Amino acid sequence: MQSIRSLSGKGVSTITILPSTSPRPSGCVISTVSSAAAVYLHVKGRVDIDGEIAKARKKLEKTKMGIERQKKILGDEGYKEKVSAELQDVEKRKLGDLEAEANGFEETIKQFEGLKLE
C-alpha cells in the first residue's frame, strides 16, 4: 500500500482497496491495470467531462481511420502474395491493437457520459 501511495504522488489524498465484487464508486472512471486489478479514479467535479468526451471521440475517430487502413492493407490480395507471413502477422497484431484501443476509447466515452447523469 505504501508503494502505491508513493507512486501516485502528492495529488492523491486517499487510497481505498475495494473487493472485486464492489460496484463502481459514484463519480469515478475505471482504468484496467491487469486482469486482476483496476483503478477507480474520482473525476467528477475535477475535470471537464464534456471536454474529456470530445478528446476521446477525436482519438476514437483517428483510431477508426487506422483500423480501416489496416483492414485495407490486410484485405489486398497483392499484399497477401508479396509479403511474408511474419510481416502479415505483425500487421494483424497492429489491427488487433487498434481495435482494442478503439474499444477503450468507446468505454471511456460511456463512462464519462454516465458521469454526466450522476
Grouped pLDDT means (10 residues each) for the chain, 118 residues? 68 79 84 74 88 95 97 92 92 93 91 87
Residue with cell 458521469: 115
Whether residues 88 and 69 fall in one domain: yes
Whether residues 62 and 106 fall in one domain: yes
Q: What's the pLDDT at 7?
A: 66
Q: What's the pLDDT at 19?
A: 82
Whether residues 7 and 55 fall in one domain: no
Q: Which distant-in-sequence residues (6+ apart) come within 8 Å of 11 by Cβ?
A: none
Residue with cell 468505454: 107
Whether residues 27 and 85 fall in one domain: no
Q: Which distant-in-sequence residues (6+ apart) come within 8 Å of 73 by Cβ?
A: 79, 91
3-state secondary structure of 44: coil
Whether residues 53 and 91 fall in one domain: yes
Whether residues 52 and 35 fall in one domain: no
Whether residues 16 and 52 fall in one domain: no
Q: Note down the domain range covering 28.
A: 1-42
Whether residues 80 and 115 fall in one domain: yes
User: Number of structural domains, the chain?
Assistant: 2
